[in-house]
Structure 1
Amino acid sequence: MGRFSRSWQMFKASWRVLRSRKELAVFPVLSGVAGLVVAAIFLTPALFTIDPNGRPTFGSWALFAGFYLVSTYMAIFFNTALISQANIALNGGDPSVAGGLRVAGSNWARILPWALLSATVSMILRAIEERLGFLGRIITGMIGMAWTLVTYLVLPVLVLERVGTKDAVKRSATLFRNTWGENVLGNAGIGVAGFLLFLPAVALAALGAVAGGATLLVCFGIAVVWGLLVGITVAALSGIYQTALYRYAAEGTTPQAFAEADLGHAFPQRR
């Protein structure tokens, strides 16, 4: 099976799980709503603390930092809920929104250090990018990609193994290095599928811009709704996919829903 075929198989496997367990899509919705609330709380007052010359003040930076930290925590909180219930679904159980929120709530202190670390890394990379310009974008792009790959399984480890952030980062790095790290970039089927699914929204927006008038409003409205649905779906599929990869990397077993996805060849043991 070729690389593209494996990616497509993994996308279809994730889609089958989501189609049979639609409640998993609720968590990205809740995450998005929470993100909007956090943005309103922090970014709105930040706009009023900028000085007359348009430069951020100390208060602005404090609010921006608060936004980074809280929004990162909220995203991780709902991803925790999603992963916990995706794991139940992969085990053939009955996931629920309430069950996921309970798991996330019971792990609030465990995921807090990871949220702080993630937000801090993001802010540092952003600062480097702004100071170094084009060179900074190259450097932060490489560092950010490496960070994302090495820590890809941190959250499943935190949730399912119930360890601290330090141990979770080490565990994720070990799983990445020893099991499937060399091939992860070649199997981004969900990301590619999400991009392709988003193209109709772009086409609708372009059509509305050309037509103008009432057609513009209708096309733009449909494009926004379509884009939101794609974003929610991709986020849910990513959580399912991430959980399945953790199960294979940590336990060496392939969930039944991914039996046809050929995980053993997608992520071969590193020699």
Structure 2
Amino acid sequence: MRRLANSWALAKSSWAVLKADKELAVIPVISFVCTIVVMAAAGGAVWLTLDPTSQAGETEITPTPFTYVVGAVGYLLITFVVTYFAAVLVSGAYQRLTGGDPTLASAFSQASSRIGPLFLWSMLTGTVGLILQALRDRAGFLGQIVVRLVGMAWEIVTWLAVPVVVVEGTGPVDSLKRSASLFKQTWGENLVAQGGFGILGLLVVLPALLVIFVVVPAIPIAGIAIAAIWIAVTSVVLSALNGIYRTALYLFASRGQAPAAFSSEELQAAFQPKTRRF
């Protein structure tokens, strides 16, 4: 409970940073739009590779080997877009937390200066995602559980990889090692942070669900519009808070000093050294 309460306190500090730099909330919006565009382009490319065959007067569409290649390339491109914009958000948060006054231009500039390492990192994490998905498709019930656990472990261990790439400019292997090393220091707060934002996301979505059940039956168009806008706005805010939080954890874990807008006591409580047992 103490760790969970501390995570909520850190989330409040992240909110204070976001209020000081509201432009950071624009980055998830741009990321969403660009991701949708890339997804649409990839989907169209996959559609063009499908093989329509006619049998008994009916047309059956089947994938070709090229379909899987194009699909994999599209998935990797989407992963890169998501990774790049995550890096833009981390760049803006990093500038603010280290005493700067970020703008959208400065955040994009810093992330773009790491475009090579970010691309390589996205290819690594995207490839791991493809492998895990292939294993899930071929595994039995128990195998799927194991693969999902492996996937969750990968996401947790690599949670600080994007800040590592943005700040340190390391390649994919070194970034993975560095993120794993920082995870060993922050494992408790790392896990609770991700879980805490999941709980926070559930809580802020509840009003939208209430609107769906209460307003939509009476005024469908208005109810759906209100719920959609609420979910979109809260998703943007939570995404921005997550990026700020992640950057703050990275800074404290790597430098041992609380970044601006964060309490030293809160962060110190988050990273208490583990006691060894013999």
Same fold (TM over 0.5): yes
Residue 120 of structure 1, aligned match among 118, 124, 127: 127
Decide whether the 8 Å contact of 2:7 with 2:189 is kept in 1. Answer: no
Query: Is 1:216 equivalent to 2:220 in the alignment?
Result: yes
1:23-172 to structure 2, matched below 5 A, reads 23-52=23-52, 53-172=60-179
Distance 1:43 1:224 in 2: 24
Identity %: 39
Decide whether the 8 Å contact of 1:24 with 1:97 is kept in 2. Answer: yes
Structure 1: give runs of 5+ residues left out of the alignment: none
Residues 189-233 of structure 1 deviation map (CA, whole Å, 9 limit, x = unaligned):
33321221112222222335533xxx1121111111111111111
State the shift of 1:176 in Å: 1.1
Distance 1:124 1:19 in 2: 40
Letter in 2 for 1:38: V
State the shift of 1:140 in Å: 2.0
Decide whether the 8 Å contact of 2:88 with 2:110 is kept in 1. Answer: yes
State the shift of 1:111 in Å: 0.9
State the shift of 1:48 in Å: 4.6
Aligned to 1:189: 196
Distance 1:88 1:207 in 2: 43
State the shift of 1:161 in Å: 1.2
State the shift of 1:260 in Å: 6.6
Tell me the secondary structure at the aligned position of residue 258 of structure 2: coil
Aligned to 1:16: 16
Structure 2: give runs of 5+ residues left out of the alignment: 53-59
CA RMSD of aligned residues (A): 1.9
Q: TM-score, normalised by structure 2?
A: 0.89
Aligned to 2:229: 225
Aligned to 2:55: none
State the shift of 1:261 in Å: 6.5
Residues 115, 209 of structure 1: alpha-carbon distance in 2 compared, 3 angstrom cutoff: same
Decide whether the 8 Å contact of 1:150 with 1:176 is kept in 2. Answer: yes
State the shift of 1:145 in Å: 1.5
Aligned length: 267
Aligned to 2:57: none
Tell me the secondary structure at the aligned position of residue 87 of structure 1: helix
Distance 2:8 2:147 in 1: 30
Tell me the secondary structure at the aligned position of residue 261 of structure 2: helix
Residues 85-120 of structure 1 deviation map (CA, whole Å, 9 limit, x = unaligned):
101111232101011111222211111110101111
Q: TM-score, normalised by structure 1?
A: 0.91
Letter in 2 for 1:30: I
Q: In proportion to residue count, which structure has more helix?
A: 1
Aligned to 1:249: 253
Query: Is 1:266 equivalent to 2:270 in the alignment?
Result: yes
